[in-house]
A and B are shown apart, each in its own frame.
Chain A
Amino acid sequence: MKQFKIFFAVAVLILALAPVGAQDVTTVSMWFSEGSTLDCWGPLMLEFNEVDPSIQLEIVPQADTWNVTRTAVAGGGGPDIVRTPGPSFVYEMAQAGLILPMDAFADEMGWGDFFFDWALDLGLVDGQLYSLSDELETLVMYYNVEVFEEHGWTPPDTMDELNALAEEVEAAGLTVFSHGNASWRPTNEHFVGEYWTQVAGPHKVYQALSGEIPWTDESLVEAIELLDAHMQAGWYGGGVDLYFTNDGVYRRTSLAEGSAAMNIEGSWAIRGTVDYFGESGQTWDWVPVPSHDGTDYFTIGMGNTSSINANSPHPEAAAQFLTWYFSPETQGKMLTNCLKGPAPVAIGEDVLGALDPRIARIYAALSDASANDRYGYTTWTFWPPKSDVYIYEEIERVWTGEITAMEYSQGLQELFAEELEAGDIPPIPTR
């Protein structure tokens, strides 16, 4: 009888307390890819739980986050915060009514105060804000300082200087660019986008993206021809066939150990570069990717976006988390601690000052370029999905000699025109 009384008392207590707990705490869920990124980002993001105990962030690790997320969201479930791989993916979800417009939250929570204007525009679909861009990216040319010093080379500013330098690098028995796509085939598109920007110029690319000129424009085709010529010359990884079999480890080690001189890669590669050079004991640095006329152009890209699930039972709480997450303070902390590409928000100079000066210089240069009309466009952020896949898949047919640069450009033009007509082009910052 005594045992029964104790059991009864405990049961009543649990029943009495449970609803109180459930009412007081709102859980905001977020799905995130498993791995080293989450290991570093996770604890920092969970610091949000100390800000307001009534809203708790729950991070659920997933193996294939994007595909799992879109399947779940389409089925009426999924996390409160929906992360996509880029603005072009947001368009489809917004059209399907799977994510919420966030204009009211933006006004209420002052997102415009810390986001760059053009960055908020990237999240617009039919004039409404559906996503916030994260992980600002650009591509630069990393190089091995010891290798350059040993041979008395200076980093090139122009394509002509790059040509001259590449001959010397090859004569020294080194690979010009430590590259390959065996680990990530869309790597191809990095070079297509860079050559368009650096050879034809970002204004031409903007005109083509806006549909004012075709992708078969002489200067754009010339860029593809030049890329192909460099590929055929074996600059990328030592040869076309080797490029197709070189993996990410090769890319990092060959540059860090000095068997390759340079590497055109994204700002997202900083962390790997720091680690591999740390192991080899050599020194890295970077310069802007050489351009035709020597102007420092920087392509802008976004690694992913965040939106609020239309099925979220508490979008207000999700918006509060986004406000905290995208604040310059949180972004600065994640940049400093994890070398995470920051969201396009105004990060304080004190934060950049605490970084390795080479890393801080990348973001300062990118900021300067975007303020002075020297920014370009990364293909995965500003091209519609079909054209984007075409860009990195079909360029291989140019490199293997199956089609010409002009045929490649004609194919892209046909596909792009279809997507342009269908209105599938992601928002492009106007110049």
Chain B
Amino acid sequence: MAVLTQKKPTTILEKLNDETWRRKFLRNVIIPWIFIAPLLLLHIYVVTIPAVQGIYMSMTDWKGVGQNANFVGLDNYRELFFEDETFGKALGNNIIWMIFFLTVPFILALFAATMLSQIKRGGMVYRSILFIPYVLASVVTITIWKNLLNPQRGVGAALAEMGIQGFDIAYLGRPETALMSIAFIDNWHFWGFLMILFLAAMQSIPPVLYDAAKIDGANRWDEFRHVTLPGIRPVVLFMFMMVAIWSFLAFDYIFLSTQGGPGGASEVIATLLYKNAFFRFEAGYGAAMGVVISIFAGFIIMIFVTLRRRGWDI
């Protein structure tokens, strides 16, 4: 009995002559690339090329005006890390900012999401109320809070009039409170978003797991620790990574409220970058700061990729 066998093409020539192989190649390789090509070209044009240019500019003394840029090697980076005290201070503030945003909004959001997940009726109203600040423009949020925190016409002043003293202080005007006050404002706008994400993740946990936990005698805390947290862990860890990256990009709330003041107390790398590039005409130096921010972001991503490769469910 004869057995029909088809010889698999091995060489390039054989592959090109093989109709089946050609069809497969077209379907699996060419067509997907054709579909993605417009987006890819756009990405190369608006992201990749400017990014490469940015890296090159960070090694020049470009002033941000005209084409005159002299190559200075790593001088900008040397100045950043070994000479510029304000950069060190700004980096320190970014780290404080990151620690704040990796704790306070996460705790608030987890707590609120856990509470809201128990509400059967009217939950949407609460969710909407807590989420509204997230959709407000930063300039609106800052204007509201600058007035609320104003020692002469804000909440502190109102409390003082009622006889409750000690809160009518210039929160944004004191070096020791400025950064944390802005972080508080930014968090007011941000944590509702985190809460919605966590709530959505919690709602995808099969109820049967909670029933099983109850049968095993778990209380509410046990349920949270052994069912809820493992169930939403991928979302929490992903947001940990994103928030850590976003912490190095913090700009608008700080610039709109104090512009890094008073006396550099709320200066972060992004505000310093902006001032160097646009006020001091040191665009090359500003580009070096931008590259450093990208390196920090890359480092954070690398940590998460490594953990994922080691089997973490991220």
- A residues sitting closer than 8 Å to B (CB atoms) are 67, 70, 74, 92-93, 95-98, 181-182, 185, 239-245, 247, 250, 385-386, 389, 393, 396-397, 399-400, 402
**Listed A/B pairs (28) with beta-carbon separation below 8 Å:** A70-B65, A92-B63, A92-B64, A92-B65, A93-B65, A93-B66, A95-B68, A97-B66, A182-B173, A185-B261, A240-B173, A240-B262, A241-B151, A241-B169, A241-B170, A242-B173, A243-B173, A244-B172, A244-B174, A244-B258, A245-B149, A245-B172, A386-B280, A386-B281, A389-B279, A397-B264, A400-B262, A402-B263
Q: How far is the CB of A415 from chain B (nearest CB, A)?
A: 10
Complex: chain B residue closest to A403, CB-CB: B263
Q: Which residues on the A side are within 8 Å of B279 (C-beta)?
A: 385, 389
> Is the CB of B152 closer than 8 A to any CB of chain A?
yes
Q: Which residues on the A side are within 8 Å of B263 (C-beta)?
A: 396-397, 399-400, 402
Q: Which residues on the B side are within 8 Å of A95 (C-beta)?
A: 66, 68
Q: Which residues on the A side are within 8 Å of B175 (C-beta)?
A: 400, 402
A165 vs B173: C-alpha distance when bound (angstroms): 27
Q: How far is the CB of B218 from chain A (nearest CB, A)?
A: 50
Q: Which residues on the B side are within 8 Å of A93 (C-beta)?
A: 65-66
Complex: chain A residue closest to B279, CB-CB: A389
Complex: chain B residue closest to A185, CB-CB: B259
Complex: chain B residue closest to A188, CB-CB: B261
A242 vs B172: C-alpha distance when bound (angstroms): 9
Interface size class of B (residues with CB under 8 A): 20 to 34
Q: B261's contact among A74, A242, A244, by CB below 8 Å, is which? A: A244
Given A242-B173, A386-B280, A386-B282, answer yes or no on A396-B262 (Cβ-Cβ < 8 Å): yes
Query: Are A245 and B170 in contact, with the CB atoms below 8 A?
Result: yes
> Is the CB of B150 closer than 8 A to any CB of chain A?
yes
A70 vs B65: C-alpha distance when bound (angstroms): 7
> Is the CB of B233 closer than 8 A to any CB of chain A?
no
Across the A-B interface, the 8 shortest Cβ-Cβ residue pairs: A96-B66, A244-B173, A241-B173, A241-B170, A396-B263, A400-B263, A245-B173, A397-B263
Q: How far is the CB of B65 from chain A (nearest CB, A)?
A: 4
Q: A389's contact among B64, B146, B171, B275, by CB below 8 Å, is which? A: B275
Q: Which residues on the A side are within 8 Å of B258 (C-beta)?
A: 244
Query: Are A241 and B174 in contact, with the CB atoms below 8 A?
Result: yes
Which residues from 253 to 288 on chain B have a C-beta closer than 8 Å to any C-beta of chain A? 258-265, 275, 278-282
Query: Are B280 and A389 in contact, with the CB atoms below 8 A?
Result: yes
Query: Are A98 and B262 in contact, with the CB atoms below 8 A?
Result: no
Query: Are B264 and A393 in contact, with the CB atoms below 8 A?
Result: yes
A393 vs B280: C-alpha distance when bound (angstroms): 12
Query: Are A96 and B264 in contact, with the CB atoms below 8 A?
Result: no
Q: A96's contact among B67, B172, B261, B278, by CB below 8 Å, is which? A: B67
Complex: chain A residue closest to B169, CB-CB: A241
Q: A385's contact among B68, B259, B264, B281, by CB below 8 Å, is which? A: B281
Q: How far is the CB of A331 from chain B (nearest CB, A)?
A: 28
A402 vs B259: C-alpha distance when bound (angstroms): 18
Count, A-B residue pairs, CB within 8 A: 86
Q: Which residues on the B side are within 8 Å of A396 (C-beta)?
A: 261-264
Query: Are B275 and A182 in contact, with the CB atoms below 8 A?
Result: no
Q: How far is the CB of B32 from chain A (nearest CB, A)?
A: 35
A sample of 17 more A-B contacts (CB under 8 A), given A67-B278, A95-B68, A400-B265, is A74-B65, A92-B63, A96-B66, A98-B65, A182-B173, A241-B151, A241-B170, A241-B173, A241-B262, A244-B173, A244-B174, A245-B150, A245-B151, A385-B280, A386-B280, A393-B264, A396-B263
Q: How far is the CB of B186 from chain A (nearest CB, A)?
A: 18
Complex: chain A residue closest to B260, CB-CB: A393
Q: Which residues on the B side are within 8 Å of A74 (C-beta)?
A: 65-67
Q: Which residues on the B side are within 8 Å of A245 (C-beta)?
A: 146, 149-151, 170-173
Complex: chain B residue closest to A239, CB-CB: B170
Query: Are B173 and A399 in contact, with the CB atoms below 8 A?
Result: no
Q: How far is the CB of A151 from chain B (nearest CB, A)?
A: 23
A239 vs B262: C-alpha distance when bound (angstroms): 13
A386 vs B172: C-alpha distance when bound (angstroms): 26
Query: Are A399 and B280 in contact, with the CB atoms below 8 A?
Result: no
Complex: chain A residue closest to B154, CB-CB: A245
Q: Which residues on the B side are within 8 Å of A242 (C-beta)?
A: 151-152, 170, 173
Contact with A along B204-228 (1 / 0, CB 8 A): 0000000000000000000000000
Q: How far is the CB of A153 from chain B (nearest CB, A)?
A: 24
Q: How far is the CB of A238 from chain B (nearest CB, A)?
A: 8
Q: How far is the CB of A333 from chain B (nearest CB, A)?
A: 33
Q: Which residues on the A side are within 8 Å of B282 (C-beta)?
A: 386
Given A244-B262, A396-B261, A396-B263, answer yes or no on A98-B172 (Cβ-Cβ < 8 Å): no
Q: Which residues on the A side are within 8 Å of B171 (C-beta)?
A: 245
A396 vs B173: C-alpha distance when bound (angstroms): 11
A241 vs B149: C-alpha distance when bound (angstroms): 13
Which residues from 127 to 183 on chain B have a C-beta closer than 8 Å to any C-beta of chain A? 146, 149-152, 169-175
Q: Which residues on the A side are within 8 Å of B64 (C-beta)?
A: 70, 92
Query: Are B68 and A96 in contact, with the CB atoms below 8 A?
Result: yes
Query: Are A92 and B264 in contact, with the CB atoms below 8 A?
Result: no
Q: Which residues on the A side are within 8 Å of B169 (C-beta)?
A: 241
A202 vs B196: C-alpha distance when bound (angstroms): 61
Query: Are A244 and B280 in contact, with the CB atoms below 8 A?
Result: no
Q: Which residues on the A side are within 8 Å of B259 (C-beta)?
A: 185
Q: A250's contact among B68, B152, B173, B261, by CB below 8 Å, is which? A: B152
Query: Are A92 and B173 in contact, with the CB atoms below 8 A?
Result: no
A250 vs B154: C-alpha distance when bound (angstroms): 13
A397 vs B262: C-alpha distance when bound (angstroms): 8
A250 vs B169: C-alpha distance when bound (angstroms): 16
Among A70, A74, A241, chain B packs the most CB atoms within 10 A around the CB of A241
Complex: chain B residue closest to A254, CB-CB: B152
Which residues from 29 to 86 on chain B have a C-beta closer than 8 Å to any C-beta of chain A? 63-68
Complex: chain A residue closest to B264, CB-CB: A397
